[in-house]
Chain A
Amino acid sequence: MNKDELIANYISKTLSLEAKKEFDHLLATDSEFAKEVAFQNNLKAVIKKEERKTVKQQLRNFEAEGNSSFNYRNWFVAATVIALLGLTSFWYFNSSIDAEKLYAENFEPYRNVVQPIVRGETKTDLKTKAFTAYETKKYTEALLYFNELLKENSDETIAFYKANVLLKLNKTEEAITILENNLKTTDSLDAKNNWYLALAHLRLNDIENSKMILNELDTSTLFKNKEVRHLLKQLD
């Protein structure tokens, strides 16, 4: 076997035991050979990297195509920033903390994890109607359905979504009442209730209360931890 074939078989991992011995011997004694092996090993690493880059781009494209909520949020943030640009001078002179802006940057109605909505399915129960409206951002309609649901029986989870709707509809005080009521009992929703409560206070420019709740969130839970810390930093 010549040297080229030895290296080719080494790369394709098809060296026989005997050839492997020859390969190792050459690698140790023949510097030109060793240099060529290093070169081809490097080439292998480079091509792998290139392949990964191509695939990563494909996956990013899938992500962009298939998951519009992501784009939606980006657009929302972008739109908010643009809308605020015109007003920055006003805030700049009035307050060092721009509560409204921070609120807009951080508030996003909590996603529906209660009632999976399957497109094309025509369930007509109240819960499905409520969350369909919620998911399609028809918040006024959603509010009516959530009220109906809560009349049937009081449910903290439904109340939590109602609070989200109220925030979206600028009924901040009403939302605060619900969230505070929810927090009277301890359960798995507490972190989420607190997060939205902190945002609601922020919106009313009640920085102190907002910070207090965020600090508590930071120490007690990992929910939205990155956002919580980021927000706290900005409020300081």
Chain B
Amino acid sequence: MTDKAVIEALKNRDQNALKQIYSNNRLAFIGFAKKYPIAREDVIDIYQDAIIALRDNAVNGTIDDLKSELKTYLFSIGKYMIYNKVKQQNKLHLVEDRSHFINKEIELSVNTYNNELTDKQKQLQTAFKTLGQKCKDVLTLFYYRGFDLEEIMKELNYNTKDVVKSQKSRCLKTLRDLIFKS
């Protein structure tokens, strides 16, 4: 699979592609992380987070025109996460200059990765979980994958865009009712 095909497959939540990219780079990443004083369990954890951040960026279109190899990109994310972890552990004073291998967008996606949800968001999360699958699907396509009404209509086999639109409004209303009444 070419990098472009992998990115496309990740967008479509293709499990096989996810598994492929995960296992293809796993050992190399573990080897790469050996240079740093991090326990193996933590390395695996970081590697998984890096894959998730990569997938996020594939889904939201950030890496549609990726200049580097996908693997290089994945490792840049991972390396940055490792740095943050080491900094956290305070074991090593990093003298290496980060600027040359980190671009702004990787920095952003890593730094926002571990953001905890605010109290309001947690409340909303609880409400979201109580929604029916139909609502979850429509909202996830719209808010996470960035589909427009027409794309959602095709993806979920609705008859018209208007049906999608009113379905989405109903779901939002349910959520609002759930959190604003309490």
- Whether A and B are associated in the same complex: the answer reads yes
A12 at the A/B interface (Cβ < 8 Å)?
Answer: yes
A40 at the A/B interface (Cβ < 8 Å)?
Answer: yes
Per-residue CB contact flags for chain A residues 34-49 toward chain B (1 = under 8 Å, else 0) read 0000011011111111
User: Which of the candidate stretches B47-55, B72-80, B97-105 sits at the interface with the other chain?
Assistant: B47-55
Bound together, the chains give a CA A59 to CA B46 distance in angstroms of: 12
Q: A56: which of B36, B48, B129, B140 is its contact (CB, 8 Å)?
A: B48
Query: How many interface residues does A have (CB within 8 Å)?
Result: 31
Bound together, the chains give a CA A185 to CA B117 distance in angstroms of: 54
B-side interface mostly: helix
Shortest Cβ distance from B93 into chain A, in angstroms?
A: 13
Per-residue CB contact flags for chain B residues 110-137 toward chain A (1 = under 8 Å, else 0) read 0000010110110011001100000000
A46 touches B125 (CB 8 A): yes
Query: How many interface residues does B have (CB within 8 Å)?
Result: 37
Q: Which residues of A contact B29 (CB under 8 A)?
A: none
Q: How many A-B residue pairs have CB under 8 A?
A: 81
Q: A11: which of B26, B44, B142 is its contact (CB, 8 Å)?
A: B142
Bound together, the chains give a CA A49 to CA B48 distance in angstroms of: 14
Question: Which residue from chain A places its CB closest to the CB of B113 in the assembled complex?
Answer: A52
Shortest Cβ distance from B39 into chain A, in angstroms?
A: 5
Question: Which residue from chain A places its CB closest to the CB of B147 in the assembled complex?
Answer: A12
Bound together, the chains give a CA A210 to CA B101 distance in angstroms of: 41
Q: Which residues of B contact A67 (CB under 8 A)?
A: 26
Bound together, the chains give a CA A67 to CA B49 distance in angstroms of: 18
Tell whether A46 pairs with B18 under 8 Å between CB atoms, given A51-B140, A62-B23.
Answer: no
A66 at the A/B interface (Cβ < 8 Å)?
Answer: yes
A1 at the A/B interface (Cβ < 8 Å)?
Answer: no
Shortest Cβ distance from A71 into chain B, in angstroms?
A: 13
| Interface residues in chain A, defined as those with a beta carbon under 8 Å from any beta carbon in chain B | 4, 8, 11-14, 39-40, 42-52, 55-56, 58-60, 62-63, 66-67, 222, 225-226
